[in-house]
């Protein structure tokens, strides 16, 4: 099922060079399953033509409140009555100022004012020069539109079309898409602070070599994304992987099991849910050579000694905070066989209320997975699906457990 299946989005473009990105945004929304109705201000039509937006959205574009195509001549009313959201991208400083004051002198601003306030949310992706963005008037107007219920999706930072550098660029189309998808997810973890570990650890032997494993981090990153979509504050402690950080997630990069333990214990104080998906190396070299270990010329491999790494999940789950009602701990188990029996034994050994089993070789590096949820009452299967779909189901399951815990 596509993330925006069944959703009807009114995509409003106001004047700004970022309009060229709205063509791609329109495509992405449709690819995600939405239907899109484009509305453009006269200024937007200076930057990109309605023809482009009509071709991409497969619907006539509206630009004027006097458009005779609306049988009742009330395009400003009709356009939002079947909408699930109005997305303004780009939203210019001028459009935001109009919204803040309830002005309605063109179709786009009129339509926003005339939309049913409580059933058609307004999502705003601003785009403007850094000086305009930072101006107290703009910030005042943004605060006002948020107080009136609009959701401001934020801005990007970097080089601007005008040649200046800083905040004010419109978010990239893919980032806006993620925000829209997140907006429609149920906020079942609102108020929770979720801490997730993900990826492998890397245990250095010398400056150029080390011990690691094939964990891709994808399941943990999907869980971090799903928890943020569900309204939680999310911290992701990630081993060495090159995955992009899910939007709105705080990421702490670590390498070794010891540095992961340190980051987790530090962040755990504020956490209410801990989900350990990381494939932590069980052992690390007893000593790390400061210099590259050289061949001895006689064909004799170096003798390597290992020591066991701390168990991060067990350490936290069995700590005072882990034992209190304030922190709900969830473990993962990567097994190669006897999933149920191994997962049950591991749950007891780690001291966690919920353990999620999966078959390691079937999931490492893949985009989909199958999960087995094991608790004191038994087990439940989440059949093979994309990691993000499974992550959303797991998040819903955890939220239910937290809400019904006695």
- Residue 357: name the closest of 378, 391, 325, 381 by CA: 381
**Are 168 and 132 within 8 A, CB to CB?**
yes
- Exposure of 65 in the CB half-sphere (CA atoms within 13 A): 13
311 binds ligand CTP (CB under 6 A): yes
CB of 83 or CB of 280, closer to ligand CTP: 280
* 331 lies in the binding site for ligand CTP (CB under 6 A): yes
Distances (CA, A) of 38 to 3, 90, 95, 102, 108: 20, 12, 16, 21, 10
Closest CA to 314 of 261, 272, 253, 364: 261
Q: Is 382 in the site for ligand CTP (CB under 6 A)?
A: no
Radius of gyration of the chain (CA): 25
What is d(CA 397, CA 224) in angstroms, rounded to the nearest whole number? 15
**19 counts as catalytic:** no
Nearest-approach distance from CB 261 to ligand CTP, in angstroms: 8
- The 10 Å CB-count burial string (b at 16+, else e) for 308-341 is ebebbbbebbeeebbeeeebbbbbbbbbeeebee
| 322 lies in the binding site for ligand CTP (CB under 6 A) | no
Positions 185 through 204 that interact with ligand CTP (CB under 6 A): 197
For the bound state, the minimum distance from the C-beta of residue 388 to ligand CTP, rounded and expressed in Å, comes to 19
CA–CA separation, 328 and 317 (whole Å): 8
Nearer to ligand CTP, 65 or 197 (CB): 197
Asked if residue 333 binds ligand CTP (CB under 6 A), the reply is: yes
Cβ atoms of 199 and 216 within 8 Å: the answer is yes
Answer for the pair 148, 113: CB distance below 8 angstroms, yes or no: no
What's the CA gap between 340 and 345, in Å, rounded?
Answer: 9
User: Per CB under 6 A, which region of 111-119, 152-160, 223-231, 326-334 contacts ligand CTP?
Assistant: 326-334
**What's 281's DSSP letter?**
-
Residues 201-240, one symbol each (x = binds ligand CTP by CB under 6 A, - = not), give ----------------------------------------
Listed ranges 109-117, 121-129, 271-279, 366-374: which one lies at the site for ligand CTP (CB under 6 A): 271-279
Q: Residue 327, interface with ligand CTP (CB under 6 A)?
A: no
Cα three-residue angle 198-204-205, rounded to 5 degrees: 150
* Interaction of residue 276 with ligand CTP, rule CB under 6 A: yes
Inter-CA distances, 305 with 7, 86, 286, 293, 360, Å: 58, 61, 5, 14, 26
Smallest distance from ligand CTP to CB 303, Å:
24
In terms of CB distance, is 85 or 333 closer to ligand CTP?
333
How far is residue 282's CA from residue 278's CA, in Å, rounded to a whole number? Answer: 11
CB 248 within 8 A of CB 187: no
- The catalytic residue among 19, 26, 86, 162 is 162
Under rule CB under 6 A, residue 282 binds ligand CTP: yes
- Of 206 and 335, CB closest to ligand CTP: 335
Question: Which part of the chain contacts ligand CTP (CB under 6 A), choosing from 72-80, 276-284, 292-300, 376-384?
Answer: 276-284
The only residue of 114, 222, 280, 329 in contact with ligand CTP, by rule CB under 6 A? 280
103 vs 213 by CB, closer to ligand CTP: 213
Rounded to a whole number of angstroms, the minimum distance from the CB of residue 360 to ligand CTP is: 8
Question: Does residue number 339 form part of the binding site for ligand CTP (CB under 6 A)?
Answer: no
Residue 334 as a binder of ligand CTP (CB under 6 A): the answer is yes
Among 133, 221, 332, 364, binds ligand CTP (CB under 6 A): 332
What single DSSP character describes residue 325?
T
Question: Applying CB under 6 A, what is the total number of residues that bind ligand CTP?
Answer: 18
Question: Which of the residues are catalytic?
Answer: 162
Give the binding site for ligand CTP (CB under 6 A). Answer: 197, 257, 276-280, 282, 309, 311-313, 331-334, 346, 350
């Amino acid at each position: 099922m596509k993330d925006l299946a069944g959703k009807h989005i009114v995509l409003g473009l106001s004047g700004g060079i970022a309009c060229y990105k709205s063509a791609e945004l329109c495509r992405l929304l449709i690819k995600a399953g939405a239907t899109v109705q484009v509305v453009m201000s006269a200024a937007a039509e200076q930057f990109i033509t309605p023809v482009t937006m009509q071709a991409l959205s497969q619907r006539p574009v509206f630009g004027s409140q006097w458009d005779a195509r609306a049988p009742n001549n009330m395009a400003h009313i009709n356009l939002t009555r079947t909408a699930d959201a109005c997305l303004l991208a780009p939203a210019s400083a001028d459009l935001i100022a109009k919204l803040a004051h309830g002005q309605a002198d063109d179709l786009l601003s009129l339509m926003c004012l005339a939309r049913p306030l409580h059933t058609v949310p307004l999502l705003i992706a601003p785009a403007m020069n850094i000086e305009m963005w930072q101006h107290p008037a703009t910030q005042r107007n943004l605060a006002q539109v948020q107080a009136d219920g609009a959701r401001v999706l934020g801005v990007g930072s970097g080089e601007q079309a005008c040649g200046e550098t800083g905040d004010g660029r419109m978010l990239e189309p893919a980032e806006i898409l993620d925000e829209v998808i997140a907006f429609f997810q149920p906020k079942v973890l609102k108020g929770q602070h979720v801490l997730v570990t993900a990826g492998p650890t890397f245990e250095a032997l010398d400056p150029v070599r080390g011990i690691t494993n094939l964990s891709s981090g994808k399941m943990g990153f999907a869980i971090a994304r799903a928890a943020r979509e569900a309204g939680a504050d999310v911290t992701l402690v990630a081993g060495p992987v090159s995955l992009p950080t899910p939007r709105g997630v705080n990421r702490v990069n670590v390498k070794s099991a010891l540095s992961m333990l340190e980051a987790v214990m530090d962040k755990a104080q504020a956490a209410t849910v801990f989900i350990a998906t990381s494939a932590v190396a069980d052992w690390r070299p007893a000593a790390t050579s400061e210099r590259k270990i050289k061949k001895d010329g006689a064909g004799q491999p170096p003798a390597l000694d290992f020591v066991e790494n701390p168990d991060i999940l067990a350490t936290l789950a069995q700590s005072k905070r882990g034992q209190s009602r304030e922190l709900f701990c969830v473990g993962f188990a990567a097994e190669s066989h006897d999933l149920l029996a191994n997962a049950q034994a591991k749950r007891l050994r780690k001291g966690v209320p919920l353990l999620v089993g999966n078959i390691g070789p079937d999931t490492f590096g893949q985009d989909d997975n199958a999960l087995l949820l094991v608790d004191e009452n038994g087990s439940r299967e989440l059949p093979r699906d994309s990691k993000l779909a499974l992550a959303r189901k797991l998040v819903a399951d955890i939220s239910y457990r937290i809400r019904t815990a006695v």
